[in-house]
Amino acid sequence: MIVDTVDRALKLVPPERIRILAGSHLNESLRSLLPELPAESFKIEPQVRGTAAALTWASWDIYNLDPEAVILSLHADHIIKPEEKFLSLVGDIVAVLKTHDLLFTISVNPDREETGYGYIEPGDCFAIQGETKSFKVNSFKEKPDLESVKEYLKKGYLWNSGIFIWKAKVFIDEIYSTTPEISDFMFYLSQNRPIDFFEHIPTMTVDEGILERSSRIATVLANFQWDDVGTWSSLTRVRETDGNGNAVMGNCELLDTKNSVIYSEDVTFITYGIQNLVLIQAGDVILATTKNLAADLKTLLNSLPDSSAGPDS
C-alpha cells in the first residue's frame, strides 16, 4: 500500500518533492520498496511521537524551502478509487488555497457507526472551485464514543479521512497559535536538532493537537471511494471474503464461523461457532478480540507489560 500511495503522489509531484515519514523499524523496507525516491525523501522519526510531531518536522523543513509550498499529507493505509477523481479534487483544493489561508481536510459521508474516526461538523460554504464546494468546519471531534457518534450522525457530521492539505506557513503558524506542547520546543528544529525535538514533545495526533483547537479548518466532501485499512476489522471491507463474510489469511479451518478476520503466519487456526471476532497469530503472539474493539488496540497495548507485546511491537 505504500507503493500505491507513492504512485498516487507521483501523479502530482516529482520524486524529489515526496517525503516519507516513518519509524526507524520501517526504514530498510521502505527504501527497498521505493528505489525511485532520493535519500532526502526519507524522514525517519527518532522516536514515535504521533502525527503531530511528524507533520511538524516535515512542514518545518518544507517551510524553510518555500513558506508558500502546499503540503498534501497522505496515509499509506488508505484505499482511494478512482484516483482520477481524487487527483482532480486535490487540484481544486490547491486552487482555493491560493486565496484562503486555511488547513483543509477531505471529509467522507459516513456509512456506519464508527468510533475509530474523527468527526467533522461542516459549516457554511465559502468557496466553489469547479464542482467542488469548500466548507468551514464548525467543530472537529477525534474518535468519540459510540453514544456521541450516534448523535453526530443524526446531526449530519462527516468522517475525517485524514487526508490533509495546507500551506507550510499556515500550518506552522497554527502550531505556534494552538499547540504550545510542540511550539515551545520548535527551536530545536531551527537548530537542526530533531532528536532533541522528539525527545521533549508529547505523543500527540495532529487531529487532537491542531485540528480540534484551530479555527482555521476547512473541508471538502470526497467524490471518490475511500476506506481506511488501519485496523484488522477493516479487512472484511477491502479483501475478498468467503460465503460467511470471513476474511481469512493463512492456514485456517472454519466451521459455523461468520463475519470474522483470521490471520495466521505459521499455525493452524480451527474455529467453531464464532462470529464478529478478530484472531491474529504473528510469531509467538496471538491476539483475540472483537471487531468492535479492534480499532482500539492502543488501549490494549498501553495496558500490557513490554514483554507481552511481542518482539516487533
C-alpha cell at 91: 487540484
C-alpha cell at 282: 504473528
> Which amino acid is it at 153?
L
Chain centroid to Cα 264, Å, comes to 25
Q: Give the start-to-end residue ranges of the domains of the chain.
A: 2-228, 232-308
Cβ proximity of 55 and 21 under 8 Å: yes
> Which amino acid is it at 12?
L
pTM over 0.75: yes
Please tell me the predicted confidence (pLDDT) of residue 309. Answer: 45
The residues that bridge with 159 in the sheet, in sequence order, are: 108, 119
Cβ proximity of 134 and 59 under 8 Å: no
Please tell me the predicted confidence (pLDDT) of residue 39. Answer: 93
Gap between the Cα atoms of 13 and 76, Å rounded: 17
C-alpha cell at 192: 537542526
Please tell me the predicted confidence (pLDDT) of residue 235. Answer: 81
Q: Which pairing describes strands 225-228 and 78-81: parallel, antiparallel, or unpaired?
A: antiparallel
Q: Which CATH architecture has domain 2-228?
A: Alpha-Beta Complex (3.90)
- Residue pointed to by grid coordinates 506557513: 169
Q: From residue 231, how far is each of 102, 298, 300 by CA, in Å?
A: 30, 11, 14
Gap between the Cα atoms of 217 and 210, Å rounded: 9
Gap between the Cα atoms of 128 and 150, Å rounded: 30
Please list the pLDDT of the chain residue by residue as tens digits (313 residues).
899 999 999 999 999 999 999 999 999 999 999 999 999 999 999 998 999 999 999 999 999 999 999 999 999 988 899 999 999 999 999 999 999 999 999 999 998 888 878 899 999 999 999 889 999 999 988 888 889 999 999 999 999 999 999 999 999 999 999 999 999 999 999 999 999 999 999 999 999 999 999 999 999 999 999 988 777 877 877 788 999 999 999 999 999 999 999 999 989 999 999 999 999 998 898 999 998 787 777 677 777 776 444 434 3
CA atoms within 13 A on the CB side of 91: 11
Gap between the Cα atoms of 287 and 289, Å rounded: 7
